[in-house]
Amino acid sequence: MLSNGELSASFYLSVLVGLIGVGIGVTVGFGAGAVPVYIGLLLGVVGVVVFFFARFEQAVLTLLILRSSLDPFSAQQVPAAFAIGLDLLTILYVVVQLLLRQKIKTDKFFWFFAAWVGFLGIWVVLPLVGWGLLGTTYLIDGIREWTRIFSWLIVYLLVMQLKEKIHPEKAITVLFFSLLVPLTVGLLQLAIPSNLPAAITCNNCLNSTLGHPSTFGTFLFLFISFTLWKLGYVRERRWLWLTLLGILAFFMVMTKSLTSLIMMSVFLISLIIPKLNLLKLIGGLLFIAMVFYLFGSTELGSEKLAALLETPIFNQDLDLSRTILLSFGDGNSANWRIAQWSFLIDAWKESPLLGYGLGTSKYITYFQNYAHNDYLRFLAETGIIGFTSFMIFLGVQIAFLIKYLRNSPLGSPRRRLCVTMISIFAAVFLGMATDNVWSHTTLFFYWWLLFAIVGWGEEEMVKW
């Protein structure tokens, strides 16, 4: 933690940076006609920078909480601006700390993560040098996708700087405030769906502030998982966490996202298997049965479950060719997925080594749509080389979680958190095989900041 003198130096340096920015901005603004909106925006940015350095812990937690409320403003590029702004703030913080000769906190996983993100940059550079079947046609998509992944790395780095400044359990508890706005908007979508602004309207579904029902569903799944983690060790106000668990489960069912329900089922099975007993087995099965019953009782839910029965997996009268033909007009999303995956594999065969480039999978099939299978997405976009790196990246994540688990004291909150995150990983690993889970930016935004927090306990002085 910074001493008072170091904090003062950091604060005054940030103020100096801000004042320089104000001077330049005002000069340019008046030179360009003194547009008040631009000057006001500039002053707002300077205010954020000063607050960020003067109240670092509070500012970081506030920004992390805010992320779950931004997607309704995607048309105005607010989420993208937020990500870029957070990246710049973090980089500025690192520069200031280096100028003050303060230590930048990192860990081994961060450097592996950084190396992998840098490696993915190959698929941004290749189109620029004339390689690839698509050339530079979709270069912007590749840059956007790489920047999105880079922002996760920066979030990881930023959260690492909170180490030893705030207790891990407190940091995670504060993150539950991220649910406040999404749940409020979700309630409004249920109560007054026809009277809402277009930005938060979802016909016959529930997407809240996350843009898509599946995105909202996986976001809720993540926080259901951490609510169960809290219930595993808290002894006071358990009724509060039980109430929150019920609310989150209700909203997840109302998203009508089959992907998130399947992920929830995999999570629970993975969670109870290591210490399986009759009570946990009955409780887990009852919870899964209740969730699927509620899901199947809705019109859309029953249609999705019925659609699964009309696929080659459950219907022996269907083969791949017929499934692809049916996918053009039967409205069966499961058959559509099978057809899309078949087209992706065919496209990959045309460029097997390095693929077509980041962000291009939605352009290389007949349907011109997202892959709905993140493994095939990486295979088509980055070829066998990029796909292999992706699988290694996933493998290293689980290896680090197992390492953290082994290094945590028996019965400690951190050990329970490691078990929870391993179960979440298993659910996400399966979910990526049938949907665009990798595109759920908010899910991975919170996943990476929690991954950073669970890594805080490696040194003896921060065991928890």
Q: Give the residue among 170, 178, 182 at the shortest CA–CA distance from 213.
A: 182
The answer to whether 104 touches 97, Cβ cutoff 8 Å, is: yes
- Fill in the amino acid letter for 250: F
Q: What is the predicted pLDDT for the residue at 339?
A: 87
**Amino acid letter for position 165:** K
**How many Cα neighbours within 13 Å face the side chain of 314?**
9
Compute CA distances 213 → 9, 246, 290, 436, whole Å: 46, 19, 20, 12
Q: Is 227 in a helix, a strand, or coil?
A: helix
CA distance 452 to 413: 15
Crossing angle of helices 56-66 and 168-175, rounded to 10° = 40
H helix runs in 161-212, sequence order: 168-175, 180-191
**Can you read off the two tokens belonging to residue 252?**
């997840």
pLDDT in the model for residue 442 = 95
289, burial (CB in 10 Å: exposed 0-12, middle 13-18, buried 19+):
exposed
- Hey, CA dihedral for 81, 84, 86, 88, is it positive or negative? negative
CB atoms within 10 A of CB 300: 14
The pLDDT of residue 334 is 79
Greatest CA separation for the chain: 76
pLDDT at 26: 47
d(CA 460, CA 464): 9
Separation between Cα atoms, residue 361 and residue 378, nearest integer Å: 8
Give the pLDDT score at 355.
92
Are 340 and 348 in contact, with CB atoms under 8 Å apart? Answer: no
- The Cα–Cα gap between 209 and 197 comes to 12
Residues 6+ apart with CB under 8 A from 371: 340, 341, 344, 361, 362, 377, 380, 436
For the chain, what are the domain ranges?
1-104, 107-161+351-464
Q: What is the pLDDT of residue 329?
A: 64
Please enumerate in sequence order all residues whose Cβ is within 8 A of that of 243, keeping only pairs 6 or more positions apart, or say none.
none
Helix (H, G, I), strand (E, B) or coil at 282: helix
Q: Which DSSP string do the residues of 92-158 spell out, in sequence order?
A: HHHHHHHHTTPPPP--HHHHHHHHHHHHHTHHHHHHHTT-SSSTTTTHHHHHHHHHHHHHHHHHHHH
Q: Which two tokens stand for residue 37?
A: 């909106």
Burial of 77 (0-12, 13-18, 19+ CB in 10 A): exposed
CB 340 within 8 A of CB 365: yes
Q: How far is the C-alpha of 365 from the C-alpha of 246, rounded, in Å?
A: 41
Query: Phi/psi at 116 (nearest 5 deg)?
Result: -70, -45
DSSP 349: T
Reduced to 3 DSSP states, what percent helix, strand and coil does the chain have, rounded to the nearest 5? 75, 0, 25
Gyration radius (Cα) of the chain, Å: 24
Residue 3: per-residue pLDDT: 42
pLDDT at residue 28 in the model: 45
Each residue's pLDDT expressed in tens, for the chain with a length of 464 residues: 444 444 445 555 555 554 555 454 445 444 444 456 556 666 677 777 888 888 899 999 999 999 999 988 888 888 998 999 999 999 999 998 999 888 999 999 999 999 999 999 999 998 888 776 677 788 899 999 999 999 999 999 999 999 989 999 999 999 999 999 999 999 999 998 878 888 888 877 789 999 899 999 999 999 999 999 999 888 888 899 999 999 999 999 889 888 998 999 899 889 888 777 777 778 777 877 877 777 777 676 677 677 666 667 666 666 666 666 666 666 677 788 888 999 999 999 999 999 999 999 999 988 888 999 999 999 999 999 999 999 999 999 999 999 999 999 888 899 999 999 999 999 999 999 999 999 999 999 999 999 999 999 766 545 66
* Rounded (10°) CA dihedral 119, 122, 125, 130: 170
Question: What's the CA gap between 174 and 177, in Å, rounded?
Answer: 6
- Calpha distance 412→414 (Å, rounded): 5
